[in-house]
Structure 1
Amino acid sequence: MSDAGIERLGEDALLLRLGDSVDASTNLRVHRLAESIAARRPPWLVDLVPAYASLAVFVDPAHFDAGVDPLVEPGRWLADCAEASAVAGDGGGALIEIPVRYGGEDGPDLDAVAAEAGMSPREAVALHCAGDYRVAMLGFAPGFPYLIGLDPRLATPRLATPRPRVPAGSVGIGGAQTGIYPRSGPGGWRLIGRTDLRLFDATRDPPATLSPGDRVRFVPVGGSR
């Protein structure tokens, strides 16, 4: 049996809640469900937006007759789909390798992160690269991936005062998560490295290099510490 809860999200969307915590198993179920819905893709479906423990499903009201609540039929369909997908699929996702230059000007917080973890910068880099990461969701900025799978020893609080400008491609740690800034802008995560990979380009289809559910592997390059 599926334990997904379904609630209205405005007039043209439904929110499926699969839990209330940030953990890999719940997030995997979110992506499993998104894959199942996308594979069956009903004609009223406009978009799917996965988060840590929920999935937003956007509906096209024009598909239904005037005067008919456009969320009733999709709600029933999604309830059945959620139950069917509870034991289906492996949530594999594509494997994307991210080349990263660690430390120095590219990762000004690497030494502090390593010191807080009680290890050398080289050991911290090796531990970060050994992680089995999955894109839990995209948010904050277009193409910004929130990655689950950081070793707890590397978990580090955000900066007390965010930087006014973080360079595009910066790899950071914020609490128990790691992520990559797709473009320059303010940010408070601890910066440990930087990649030249362009994570978001509005002229591409799709514009984001990473998608929710993808797996990520970090690879040290250049003058990494």
Structure 2
Amino acid sequence: MREVRRAGDRGLLVEAASPHALRAAILAADLPGVTDVVPGEATVLVVASGGLELLERRLRDLEAGDEAPAGRSVEIPVVYDGADLAEVAELTGLSVAEVVARYGAAEYTVAYLGFSPGFGYLTGLDPALRVPRRSTPRTSVPAGSVAMAGPYTAVYPSASPGGWRLLGRTDLVLWDVRRDPPSLLGPGDRVRFVPSR
């Protein structure tokens, strides 16, 4: 039995060892009243139009495996000219070429979306590349900036403040309201970063 907590008037926050597997199980169960299922780092937010008490009981006992269905594969072309690339190399004790090679060798998974529309928190970063956020965030990071901090990497979908270390940039549009769905990345998608020049 898993822990389920109320989240406002229409939501339930469900603890999950594998949020993507639980999300898939909830969607497959076609539970009445569910309008949205949003995975987080260690939880799943279930939004419903009503009937939260019954839904809460069903979610506590819902069977979900440990394996999530594979998401789409997305390649993101990157120009590695980020303002923090040399500093990341210094912090990790690697050369710039080694940072780029290790970063590009990994396959990442979109753990969840947050911070701003289309901002995917990607897991799978080589532990040798893990560096802390900048001590002083930038007031504006350009859209398309490829960045990392701690165990995560991401692409800024729009210009915004940010304290992550900038490795490079991409021309891909991560968020477009005219697209269906608007976000290029979705939870569970697998991402590779490919040098574009």
TM (normalized to structure 1)?
A: 0.84
Contact 2:24 2:68 in 1 (8 A): no
Contact 2:141 2:159 in 1 (8 A): yes
1:140-184 alpha-carbon deviations (Å, 9 max, x no partner): 110001111111111111111111111100010112211110011
Paired with 2:135 and 2:92, the residues of 1 have a C-alpha distance of 18
Higher normalized helix content (fraction of residues): 1
Q: Residue 102 of structure 1: SS of its match in structure 2?
A: coil
Paired with 1:39 and 1:216, the residues of 2 have a C-alpha distance of 25
1:21 corresponds in structure 2 to: none
1:4 lines up with 2:5 in the alignment: no
1:71 lines up with 2:52 in the alignment: yes
Q: Residue 136 of structure 1: SS of its match in structure 2?
A: strand
Q: Quick check: 198-207 or 40-49, which moved more?
A: 40-49
1:91 lines up with 2:89 in the alignment: no
Paired with 1:120 and 1:16, the residues of 2 have a C-alpha distance of 42
Name the count of aligned residue pairs.
197
1:57 lines up with 2:55 in the alignment: no
Q: Which one has a bigger Cα radius of gyration?
A: 1
Give unpaired runs (5+ residues) of structure 2.
none
How far residue 202 of structure 1 moved from its aligned partner, in angstroms, is: 1.1
1:37 lines up with 2:23 in the alignment: no
Between the aligned residues of both structures, percent identity stands at 47
Paired with 1:40 and 1:194, the residues of 2 have a C-alpha distance of 40
Aligned-residue Cα RMSD (Å) equals 1.3
1:87-119 alpha-carbon deviations (Å, 9 max, x no partner): 5x543111111111102xxx1111110111111
Contact 2:2 2:61 in 1 (8 A): no
Counterpart residue type for residue 101 of structure 1 = V
Give unpaired runs (5+ residues) of structure 1.
19-25, 62-69
1:173 corresponds in structure 2 to: 148
Counterpart residue type for residue 179 of structure 2 = R
